[in-house]
């Protein structure tokens, strides 16, 4: 067991699974996923998909899955064609494609702060100048966003309209309108990463719903709600952008996994998946209420008590040593995700931890926190 010292090592700590209490992990435990997975992965379901299943297929991805995505978008009010959908190896692959296709070393982009730390690592690797836009409970701080756009002329703003990681916040309608108006005026792309797009009853305004993919690229995945092992996600964009990203996907990885995509298509079309989503949403409400009550009982606060999705951002008193608490937790077999990893800059931020609500029911975490904070 080693301490996480940067974004890469924090991600490795999640993958290694060598600590028992994993409240800092980004994914839910297996017990939350079991009722979504078929009992048998055998059978002749592959025969129901047209074409040679051993071939590469289109760089856009499996046609049946793309049609499912297209119809889902249309039901949600987004009038798209299947030529606007490109499947990927999860949301992170979609982010990689966008960075590689539309950015060059030295370019400037904007990101949520606190925000999605794997994105920061990707941008750093690509030598992209990334600047944080302060996140509020209603989305990005519009005053800061306008100022940063005016000064830096960024090519892309990476954000999350719903269930933001790590705060659980959502972009409300006025803020969404402001973001899109600014993007249109400045010729700035907006990338909206929404891994909880299928989760019912989540607040927030999907940016593509208002923009209809004029300046927005929407990203999603089934890694959070179904299984990270399949590595199946997708992006939706204007036809030109979808074509350019499909071409880049072709020259870099040839194609995503057709078998994984066919299996995913089979699972999400099953009533079992819909029951799983409904059950997950209800469990999250119960878990969030319980977590909030426990935290408030200790005199602590949350970035957004009414947030959605898996995550909540625990705010600690100003005098707390976040790194020391994380090290002490590690010695007790407790994996925490320190707030520092979710910020581009460290000045002026509060000590904090990202909490995964699907893993927040372990009494050992609360006992540890009370001892550490003298509560």
pLDDT category, 348, cuts 50, 70, 90? confident
Q: Give strand pairing partners of 337.
A: 354
Query: Helix, strand, or coil here: 281?
Result: helix
The token pair at 341 is 């990893």
Return the SS3 of 59. Answer: coil
b/e burial code for range 343-359 (CB count within 10 A of at least 16 → b): bbeeeebebbbbbbbbb
Yes or no: say if 111 and 141 are a contact pair by the CB < 8 Å rule.
no
pLDDT band with cut points at 50, 70 and 90 for residue 49: low
Determine the pLDDT at residue 334.
Answer: 96
Q: Quick one: tokens of 148?
A: 């940063």
* Region(s) of the chain under CATH 3.90.1150.10: 7-35+273-373
* Mean pLDDT, the chain, whole residue set: 90
Distance CA 188, CA 145 (A): 12
**Model confidence pTM above 0.85:** yes
Pairing of strands 311-315, 301-302: antiparallel
pLDDT of residue 15: 57
Architecture of domain 45-269: 3-Layer(aba) Sandwich (3.40)
Q: What's the token pair of residue 160? A: 């999350």
The pLDDT of residue 41: 47
Q: Where in the chain is the domain with CATH 3.40.640.10?
A: 45-269
Q: Contact, 203 vs 234, CB < 8 A?
A: no
Judged against a pLDDT cut of 90, whether residue 56 lies above it is answered with: no
What pLDDT score does 54 carry? Answer: 46
User: What is the torsion angle, in degrees rounded to the nearest 10, for the CA atoms of residue 187, residue 193, residue 197 and residue 203?
Assistant: -80
pLDDT tens across 9-47, in order? 676 666 566 778 888 887 788 778 767 756 554 445 555
| Residues contacting residue 227 through CB under 8 Å, at least 6 positions apart | 33, 36, 37
Residue 50 has a pLDDT of 52
Q: pLDDT tens digits for 111-162?
A: 999 999 999 999 999 999 999 999 999 999 999 999 999 999 999 999 999 9
CA angle 20, 300, 167 (to 5 degrees): 70
Q: In this structure, what are the phi and psi dihedrals at residue 235, rounded to the nearest 5 degrees?
A: -130, 150
Q: With pLDDT > 70 as the criterion, what percentage of the chain qualifies?
A: 90
CB atoms within 10 A of CB 19: 19
Instruction: Classify domain 7-35+273-373 by CATH number.
Output: 3.90.1150.10
| DSSP letter assigned to residue 346 | -
Distance of alpha carbon 223 from alpha carbon 236, whole angstroms: 17
- The 10s digit of each residue's pLDDT in 191-238 is 999 999 999 999 999 999 999 999 999 999 999 999 888 789 999 999
DSSP state at residue 82: G
How far is 231 from 188, CA to CA, in rounded Å? 29
Cα(308)–Cα(161) distance, integer angstroms: 11
Which has the closest alpha carbon to 105: 129, 83, 86, 85? Answer: 129
Question: Among residues of the chain, what percentage have pLDDT more than 90?
Answer: 76
Backbone torsions φ then ψ of 201, nearest 5 degrees:
65, 35
Q: What pLDDT shows up at residue 42?
A: 42
């Amino acid at each position: 067991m080693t301490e996480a010292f940067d974004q890469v090592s924090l991600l490795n700590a999640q993958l290694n699974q060598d600590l028992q209490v994993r409240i800092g992990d980004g994914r839910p435990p297996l017990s939350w996923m079991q009722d979504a997975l078929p009992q048998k992965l055998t059978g002749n379901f592959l025969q129901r998909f047209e074409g040679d299943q051993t071939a590469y297929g289109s760089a856009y991805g499996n046609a049946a899955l793309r049609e499912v995505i297209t119809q889902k978008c249309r039901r949600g009010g987004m009038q798209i064609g299947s030529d606007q959908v490109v499947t990927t190896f999860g949301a992170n692959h979609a982010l990689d494609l966008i960075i590689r296709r539309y950015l060059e070393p030295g370019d400037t982009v904007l990101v949520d702060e606190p925000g999605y730390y794997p994105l920061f690592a990707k941008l750093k690797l690509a030598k992209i100048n990334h600047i944080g836009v302060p996140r509020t409970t209603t989305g990005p701080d519009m005053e800061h966003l306008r100022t940063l756009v005016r000064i830096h002329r960024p090519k892309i703003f990476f954000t999350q309209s719903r269930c933001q990681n790590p705060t659980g916040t959502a972009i409300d309608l006025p803020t969404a309108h402001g973001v899109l108006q600014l993007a249109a005026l400045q010729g700035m792309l907006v990338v909206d990463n929404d891994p909880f797009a299928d989760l019912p009853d989540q607040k927030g305004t999907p940016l593509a719903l208002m923009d209809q993919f004029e300046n927005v690229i929407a990203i999603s995945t089934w890694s959070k709600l179904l299984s990270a092992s399949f590595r199946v996600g997708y992006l939706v964009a204007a036809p030109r952008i979808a074509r350019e990203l499909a071409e880049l996907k072709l020259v870099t990885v040839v194609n995503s996994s057709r078998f994984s995509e066919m299996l995913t298509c089979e699972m999400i079309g099953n009533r079992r998946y819909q029951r799983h989503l409904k059950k997950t949403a209800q469990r999250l409400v119960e878990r969030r209420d319980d977590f909030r009550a426990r935290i408030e009982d200790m005199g602590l606060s949350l970035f957004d008590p009414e947030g959605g999705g898996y995550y909540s951002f625990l705010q600690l008193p100003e005098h707390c040593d976040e790194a020391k608490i994380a090290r002490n937790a590690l010695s007790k077999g407790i994996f925490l995700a320190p707030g520092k990893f979710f910020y581009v800059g460290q000045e002026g931020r509060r000590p904090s931890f990202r909490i995964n609500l699907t893993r927040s029911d372990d009494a050992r975490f609360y006992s540890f926190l009370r001892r550490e904070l003298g509560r």
